[in-house]
Amino acid sequence: MTYIEYVQLSPKEKIKYKFTSFFKNLGHGFINFFVNLYFRLIRFFKGLGRSFKEVGYAFKHGNVFTKLSFLFLGVGHMASGQIIKGILILLVEALFIFYMIMTGGAAIYGFTTLGNLESYFQCLHGVPDASGNVNFVLDSNDYHFLDQSTAGEMCELLHPGESIQLTQIRCDNSFTFLLFGLLAIVIIVAFVLFYISTIKNTILLQERKQAKLHVSTFFEDIKDYLDGKFHRVLLALPILGVCVFTILPIIDMILMAFTNYNRTTSYPRFFSWIGIDNFITLFGGGMSKSGAKFGLTFVKILGWTMIWAVLATFLNYFLGMFVAMLINKKGIKFKKVFRTVLVFSIAMPQFISLLAFNKFFAKGGMIESLLKLLGLMSQNDALRILDQATSARIFIIIVNIWVGIPYTMLAVTGILMNVPEDLYESAQIDGASPFTVYTKITLPYVIFITGPKLITDFVGNINNFNVIYFLTGGNPATNDYLNAGKTDLLVTWLYKLTVNQMNYSYASVIGIMIFVICAVLSLIAYRHTSAVKNEEDFA
Amino acid sequence: MKLVNKQFGMEKYASIKRRRRITNTLAYVFLTLLCIIWIIPIIGVFYTALRNERGISNSFFPSKGFTFDNFARLFTDKSFTKLYPYMRWLGNTLLVAVCVMLISTLFVVSVAYTMSRLRFKSRKRLMSLNLILGMFPGFMSMIAVYNILSVLKLDGSLIALIIVYSAGSGMGFYVAKGFFDTISKSLDEAAKIDGANNAKVFFKIIFPLSKPIVVYTMLTSFMGPWVDYIFSSVIIRDKTDNYTIALGLYTLISSADREAQYFTTFFAGASLISIPIMALFLATQKYYVGGVTGGAVKG
Residue B69 in domain: no
Among A73-87, A297-311, A347-361, B8-22, whose mean pLDDT is lowest? B8-22
In this model, does residue B263 exceed pLDDT 50? yes
How does pLDDT run across A274-285, given as a tens digit for each residue?
878 888 877 776
In this model, does residue A267 exceed pLDDT 60? no
* Interface membership of B246 toward A (CB under 8 Å): yes
Please tell me which residue, A268 or B104, carries the higher pLDDT value.
B104
* Alpha-carbon gap, residue B211 to B73, rounded angstroms: 41
Compute the count of residue pairs across chains A and B with CB atoms less than 8 Å apart.
280
Please tell me which residue, A162 or A472, carries the higher pLDDT value.
A472
CATH number at residue B191: 1.10.3720.10
Among B117-121, B150-154, B250-254, B255-259, whose mean pLDDT is lowest? B255-259
The whole-number pLDDT of residue B10 equals 63
* Alpha-carbon gap, residue A473 to B84, rounded angstroms: 23
Please tell me which residue, B29 or A443, carries the higher pLDDT value.
B29
Residue in chain A nearest B105 by alpha carbon:
A238
Residue B104 in domain: yes
Q: How far is CA A440 from the centre of its chain?
A: 37
Nearest to A250 among B141, B185, B290 (CB): B141
Nearest to B133 among A246, A338, A410 (CB): A246
Sign of CA dihedral A260, A263, A266, A267: positive
The whole-angstrom distance between A12's CA and the closest CA on chain B is: 31
Q: What are φ and ψ of residue A170, in 5° steps?
A: -75, 135
User: Total structural domains in chain B?
Assistant: 1
With beta carbons under 8 A apart, name residues in chain B contacting A228.
198
In this model, does residue A266 exceed pLDDT 60? no
| B52 three-state secondary structure | coil
Residue B295 in domain: no
With beta carbons under 8 A apart, name residues in chain A contacting B187.
none
| DSSP class of B65 | -
In this model, does residue B117 exceed pLDDT 80? yes
Residue B226 in domain: yes
Residue B13 in domain: no
The whole-angstrom distance between A118's CA and the closest CA on chain B is: 18
Phi-psi region of A473 (alpha: psi -120 to 50; beta: other; left: phi over 0): left
The whole-number pLDDT of residue A189 equals 93
With beta carbons under 8 A apart, name residues in chain A contacting B295.
none
Q: Which of A174, A230, A350 to mutate to test the interface with B (most CBs of B within 10 A)?
A: A230
In this model, does residue A536 exceed pLDDT 60? no
Band of pLDDT at residue A286, cut at 50, 70 and 90? low
How does pLDDT run across B47-92, given as a tens digit for each residue?
888 888 777 655 666 667 788 888 888 888 888 888 889 999 999 9
Residue B148 in domain: yes
Among A226-230, A465-469, B51-55, B81-85, whose mean pLDDT is lowest? B51-55
Please tell me which residue, B35 or A14, carries the higher pLDDT value.
B35
Answer for the pair B191, B201: CB distance below 8 angstroms, yes or no.
yes
User: Considering only residues 65 to 104 of chain B, which have any Cβ-Cβ distance to chain A shorter than 8 Å?
Assistant: none
How does pLDDT run across B147-195, given as a tens digit for each residue?
888 888 888 889 999 999 999 888 888 878 888 888 888 888 888 888 8
Nearest to B113 among A176, A234, A331 (CB): A234
* A508 with B181: Cβ contact below 8 A: no
Average of per-residue pLDDT values in chain A: 82
How does pLDDT run across A364-414, given as a tens digit for each residue?
778 888 888 888 877 777 778 888 889 999 999 999 999 889 888 887 877
The whole-number pLDDT of residue A539 equals 36
Please tell me which residue, A376 or A489, carries the higher pLDDT value.
A489
The whole-number pLDDT of residue B104 equals 94
| B66 three-state secondary structure | strand
In this model, does residue B17 exceed pLDDT 90? no
Q: How far apart are the first and last CA of chain B?
A: 46
Choose among A72, A77, A74, A70: nearest CA to A89. Answer: A74
* Interface membership of B195 toward A (CB under 8 Å): no
The whole-angstrom distance between A23's CA and the closest CA on chain B is: 22
* Interface membership of B118 toward A (CB under 8 Å): yes
In this model, does residue B93 exceed pLDDT 90? yes
The whole-number pLDDT of residue A188 equals 94
For β-strands A163-170 and A119-126, DSSP reports them as antiparallel
The whole-number pLDDT of residue B298 equals 28
Please tell me which residue, A501 or A219, carries the higher pLDDT value.
A219
* Interface membership of B131 toward A (CB under 8 Å): yes
* A252 with B285: Cβ contact below 8 A: no
Among A57-61, A414-418, B25-29, B109-113, whose mean pLDDT is lowest? A414-418
The whole-number pLDDT of residue A237 equals 93
In this model, does residue A99 exceed pLDDT 90? yes
Share of chain A above pLDDT 70, in %: 93
Residue in chain A nearest B229 by alpha carbon:
A351
How does pLDDT run across A50-95, given as a tens digit for each residue?
888 888 888 888 888 888 888 888 888 888 888 899 999 999 999 9
* B137 with A511: Cβ contact below 8 A: yes
* Alpha-carbon gap, residue A386 to A194, rounded angstroms: 57
The whole-number pLDDT of residue A42 equals 92
| A121 three-state secondary structure | strand
The whole-number pLDDT of residue B60 equals 61
Among A129-138, A226-235, A305-314, A524-533, whose mean pLDDT is lowest? A524-533
Choose among A78, A128, A341: nearest CA to B39. Answer: A341
Residue B30 in domain: no
The whole-number pLDDT of residue B172 equals 84
* A331 with B288: Cβ contact below 8 A: no
* Alpha-carbon gap, residue A100 to A184, rounded angstroms: 8
Q: Which amino acid does the sequence have at A496?
A: K
Residues in Cβ contact with A213 at an 8 Å cutoff, skipping those fewer than 6 apart: none
Other C-beta atoms closer than 10 Å to the C-beta of A392 total 22
Q: Which of B136, B155, B206, B277 to mutate to test the interface with A (most CBs of A within 10 A)?
A: B136
* A504 with B202: Cβ contact below 8 A: no
Share of chain A above pLDDT 90, in %: 13
Nearest to A242 among B59, B170, B253 (CB): B170
Sign of CA dihedral B153, B149, B217, B229: negative
| DSSP class of A239 | H
Band of pLDDT at residue A526, cut at 50, 70 and 90? low
In this model, does residue A524 exceed pLDDT 50? yes
With beta carbons under 8 A apart, name residues in chain A contacting B168.
241-242, 245-246
Prior bond of A349 cis (ω within 30°): no
The whole-angstrom distance between B61's CA and the closest CA on chain A is: 6
Answer for the pair B229, A465: CB distance below 8 angstroms, yes or no.
no
The whole-angstrom distance between A39's CA and the closest CA on chain B is: 15
Please tell me which residue, A287 or B219, carries the higher pLDDT value.
B219
Q: What value does the mean pLDDT take over residues A14-32?
A: 74
* B131 with A522: Cβ contact below 8 A: yes
Nearest to B274 among A176, A233, A348 (CB): A348
The whole-number pLDDT of residue A304 equals 93
The whole-number pLDDT of residue A345 equals 78
The whole-number pLDDT of residue B293 equals 31
Nearest to A343 among B132, B223, B281 (CB): B281
Residue in chain A nearest B228 by alpha carbon:
A351
Residue in chain A nearest B246 by alpha carbon:
A351
* B140 with A511: Cβ contact below 8 A: yes
Q: How far apart are the first and last CA of chain A?
A: 33
The whole-number pLDDT of residue A155 equals 81
Among A105-109, A147-151, A300-304, B121-125, whose mean pLDDT is lowest? A147-151
Residue in chain A nearest B186 by alpha carbon:
A539
B226: containing domain: 84-252
Residue B166 in domain: yes
The whole-number pLDDT of residue A307 equals 93
Q: What value does the mean pLDDT take over residues A269-296?
A: 74
How does pLDDT run across A118-157, given as a tens digit for each residue?
777 888 888 877 777 777 878 777 777 777 788 888 888 8
The whole-number pLDDT of residue A528 equals 60
